[in-house]
Amino acid sequence: MKILFTMSPTPARLPPLVPLAWALQAHGHEVRVTGSPALTAATAAAGLTLAPVGLPEDWTRPGWWKDPELAEVHRHSMLLWEPDLVVRDGPTWLHDSCVEGFAVPYVVHIGDRFSPRLEKVADDAAAWVDTRPPALRGSARPDAWTVRRVPAPGAATVPDWLLAPSPRPRVCLLWQPRTRASAGRVATIVEAVTGLELELLVRTGVRQLLPAAGPPGRRLIQADDGLPLSLLLSGCVLLIHQGVMADAADAAVMGVPQLVLSELRGHARVGERVAETGAGRHVGGPLGKDEALRLRLLIAELVFGGHALAAARDWAGELATLPPPAAVVAHLEELTQGA
């Protein structure tokens, strides 16, 4: 069977689909990914094959998702390969245009945020696969197949400092600043963590704001952006992040407590759901005066209090009971038999 994964141009959206692609390949099926050339490195790192469509700039122009010419090129690429099944990265107008009139069943994969209004453009989907932890979903398709999220490791080499045990409890900070104020909060978070007997592992796009990091004996380590989150979290007692669904889901699967410092409404909802599980805390927006001190108290509670860690481990145990990606392969095969 030939299965085609159609992707949005953002490489960060690929990891949630990788375990399903691997499961299909392990069952002897041929898998191909199609989308922007910007996905080349990410698909190669995942051990998958990319059939690029158009030029990188075609996928960055305003309104690319409703460009009829790009949709036609994408559709032509799909027709040439003649897949038996199409797996779509979420419901978008572009993907809908590509499969319109296409005599092949398609499945919608939900690995990130989902809005009921989006399902209107995919009302003829043969099936839906949802890999988000149920507690983080909010809106969801009631008929979607729930599949366990498996953090995709990608291609990476474990650095020496990560092999050695940390001399202190290690906290991981993921931060992608969207404004100058957001970038400035990194220094506040660093101050809050390093004020405790903790080691801080930082993966952020504002390294110039950080003090120079030394060897693992120091309290601050800067991680390479290419290292998978699952690798970084393997020795951490806390993850501090902005509320990105993928980050929250990976921490949940790995049983790591979370402190969500959201800046966007969608991320705030993720933070609120994390807090509802007891496996973390959520703070929406800056904490105002003495923010470093207030963050330090929250971090100390999550790391040393014990309640969040117990809740995080219970949550991870619940998620481990969900069906793995391999469990839906037979269902996907059945979809093609009726096509």
Q: What is the CATH number of the domain that holds 214?
A: 3.40.50.2000
Q: What is the mean pLDDT of residues 64-74?
A: 81
* 166 and 313, same domain (yes or no): yes
Name the pLDDT band for 17 (thresholds 50, 70, 90): very high
In the structure encoding, which two tokens stand for residue 128, read together?
A: 């839906």
> What is the pLDDT, as a whole number, of residue 176?
83
DSSP conformation letters of 121-158? GGTT-SEEEE-S-GGGTSS--TTSEE--------S---
243 and 141 within one domain:
no
pLDDT of res. 99: 64
CB atoms within 10 A of CB 57: 11
153 within some domain: no
302-333 pLDDT, tens digit each = 999 889 999 999 999 999 999 999 999 999 99
Q: Which pLDDT belongs to residue 157?
A: 84
The answer on pLDDT for 214 being more than 50 is: no
List, for residues 218-256, the tens digit of each pLDDT value: 577 777 777 888 889 988 999 999 999 999 999 999 999
Judged by average pLDDT, the poorest of 26-40, 66-80, 205-219 is 205-219
Position 96 in a domain: yes
Q: Tell whether the model's pLDDT for residue 145 goes beyond 60.
A: yes
> Is 133 found in the same domain as 31?
yes
111 and 180 within one domain: no
Which of the residue ranges 69-78, 142-151, 258-267 would you say has the lowest mean pLDDT? 69-78
Q: Sorting pLDDT into bands at 50, 70 and 90, what band is 77?
A: confident
pLDDT, position 218? 55
pLDDT at residue 121 is higher than 70: no
Query: Is the model's pTM score more than 0.85?
Result: yes
In a domain, 307, yes or no: yes
Domain count for the chain: 2
Place 216 in a pLDDT band, splitting at 50, 70 and 90: very low
Sign of CA dihedral 307, 312, 317, 319: positive
Range of the domain at 108: 2-148+323-337
Same domain membership, residue 232 and residue 104: no
Q: What is the pLDDT of residue 202?
A: 87
Statement to judge: residues 34 and 90 lie in one domain: yes
Q: Residue 25: what pLDDT?
A: 96
In this structure, are 81 and 164 located in the same domain?
A: no
Asked whether residue 155 is assigned to any structural domain, the reply reads: no
**Do both 113 and 32 map to the same domain?**
yes
Long-range own/partner contacts, residues 34-42 (CB < 8 A, 24 or more apart): 34/4, 34/5, 34/6, 34/7, 34/74, 34/77, 34/78, 35/6, 35/7, 35/8, 35/9, 35/59, 35/89, 36/7, 36/9, 38/9, 38/11, 39/7, 39/9, 39/11, 39/14, 41/11, 42/11, 42/14
Query: Do 63 and 88 belong together in one domain?
Result: yes
**Tokens read off for 36:** 């922007």
Q: What is the pLDDT of residue 122?
A: 65
* Statement to judge: residues 310 and 180 lie in one domain: yes
Pairing relation of β-strands 280-284 and 220-222?
unpaired
Whether residue 92 is contained in a domain is answered as yes
Based on the domain organization, do 298 and 328 belong to the same domain?
no
Q: Which two three-digit tokens encode residue 170?
A: 């290690």
Give the pLDDT mean for 9-22: 90
Residue 298 lies in a domain: yes
Q: Are residues 136 and 220 in the same domain?
A: no
